[in-house]
């Protein structure tokens, strides 16, 4: 807990059996009040490993996709009383050692949303980021900064922290169930008038780290461009996509799940 705020870490998991233990071991349990894993119908032993580690687990009974997993994560974290919610991938690509710093930036009111940027850290290419991903990242970030009117170093990190107020305000339930969910969240945060900040995060790509294919990266990139254009059109009051209409009732997310007790 920080500044009287209850801190929760949610982990959207898919086939993370081999990296989950390392991720959990680096979480500071003196500050983090709650850890929840949501398994997206993994085919490996992710659920067994999570329960062995003593984690509460919600398991999708069908694969809902990366965005669909996050919808369950955030709804569950709010239901469990979180004031600050941080999403941490259990594939060990992002260091859990930044959790306390990110939580502090939220809990003390500096920002409403914080993203851990791989670009601000040591060279992302030296950290193993594939060249084509780096090139896509830089091009898309330039385009988004132009249309969002910001100067962020990147928009594509999956390591983020949100206040309870953000998650109770933006209609994340209307977002895509795919990877573009993250960019739609940024558009929603800005549309609702919340403050967004960044923190430097080292880049770490390992064989066990999850990574989408080149083809899916292209599809994601097209979705990023579309999201930025939709945000700008909404600002100009020419067109407002459904996910940019602030109605948190859309977050009454219903997923096919079962809740497992830790061993």
CATH of the domain at 232: 3.90.550.10
Q: Which domain holds residue 110?
A: 7-244
Question: CB-based contacts of 213: which residues, under 8 Å, 6+ apart?
Answer: none
Q: Is 102 inside a domain boundary?
A: yes
Q: What's the pLDDT score for residue 135?
A: 87
Q: Residue range 150-170: average pLDDT?
A: 96
User: Which candidate, 12, 192, 176, 23, places its Cα nearest to that of 93?
Assistant: 23
Contact 9, 27 (CB under 8 A): yes
Q: Is residue 187 part of a domain?
A: yes
Is 239 a residue whose pLDDT tops 60?
Answer: yes
Does residue 69 lie in a domain region? yes
Instruction: Count up the domains in the chain and report the number.
Output: 1
Candidate from 108-117, 150-159, 245-254 with smallest mean pLDDT: 245-254
pLDDT computed for residue 69 by the predictor: 97
pLDDT at 203 over 80: no
Q: Which pLDDT score is estimated for 64?
A: 96
CA atoms within 13 A on the CB side of 236: 11
Any residues with CB less than 8 A from the CB of 31 and at least 6 apart, and which? 1, 2, 7, 99, 100, 103
Handedness of CA 1, 170, 220, 149 (dihedral sign): negative
Mean pLDDT score, 61-71: 96
Q: What is the pLDDT of residue 207?
A: 59
Least confident of 22-36, 131-145, 239-253: 239-253
> Residue 71 domain-assigned?
yes
In a domain, 261, yes or no: no
Contact 198, 117 (CB under 8 A): yes
d(CA 5, CA 164): 10
Any domain includes 41: yes
Please say whether the beta carbons of 148 and 231 come within 8 A: yes
Q: Is 73 or 134 the better-scoring residue by pLDDT?
A: 73
Q: What distance lies between CA 185 and its chain's CA centroid?
A: 9
Answer yes or no: is 213 within a domain. yes
Tens-digit pLDDT profile for residues 243-261: 999 987 777 755 566 666 5
> CA-to-CA distance for 197 and 110, rounded, in angstroms?
8
Q: What average pLDDT does this structure show over 2-29?
A: 96
d(CA 43, CA 81): 30
pLDDT score, position 208:
56
Q: What's the whole-number average pLDDT of the chain?
A: 91
Residue 230 has pLDDT above 50, yes or no: yes
Residue 92 lies in a domain: yes
Share of the chain above pLDDT 70, in %: 90
């Amino acid at each position: 807990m920080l500044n009287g705020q209850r801190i929760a870490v949610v982990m959207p998991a898919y086939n993370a059996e081999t990296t989950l233990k390392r991720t959990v071991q680096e979480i500071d349990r003196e500050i983090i009040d709650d850890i929840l894993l949501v398994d997206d119908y993994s085919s490996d032993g992710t659920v067994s490993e999570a329960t062995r580690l003593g984690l509460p687990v919600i398991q999708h009974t069908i694969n809902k996709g990366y965005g669909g997993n996050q919808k369950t994560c955030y709804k569950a974290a709010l239901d469990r009383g979180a004031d600050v919610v941080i999403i941490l991938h259990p594939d060990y690509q992002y260091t859990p050692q930044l959790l306390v710093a990110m939580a502090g930036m939220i809990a003390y009111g500096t920002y409403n949303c914080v993203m851990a940027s791989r670009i601000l850290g040591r060279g992302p290419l030296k950290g193993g980021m594939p060249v084509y991903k780096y090139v896509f990242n830089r091009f898309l970030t330039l385009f988004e900064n132009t249309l969002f009117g910001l100067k962020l170093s990147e928009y594509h990190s999956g390591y983020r922290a949100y206040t309870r107020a953000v998650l109770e305000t933006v209609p994340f339930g209307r977002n895509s169930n795919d990877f573009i969910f993250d960019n739609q969240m940024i558009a929603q945060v800005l549309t609702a008038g919340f403050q967004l900040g960044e923190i430097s995060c080292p880049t770490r790509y390992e064989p066990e780290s999850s990574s989408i294919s080149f083809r899916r990266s292209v599809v994601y990139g097209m979705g990023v461009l579309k999201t930025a254009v939709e945000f700008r059109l909404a600002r100009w009051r020419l067109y407002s996509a459904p996910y940019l209409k602030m109605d948190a009732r859309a977050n009454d997310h219903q997923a096919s799940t079962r809740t497992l007790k830790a061993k």
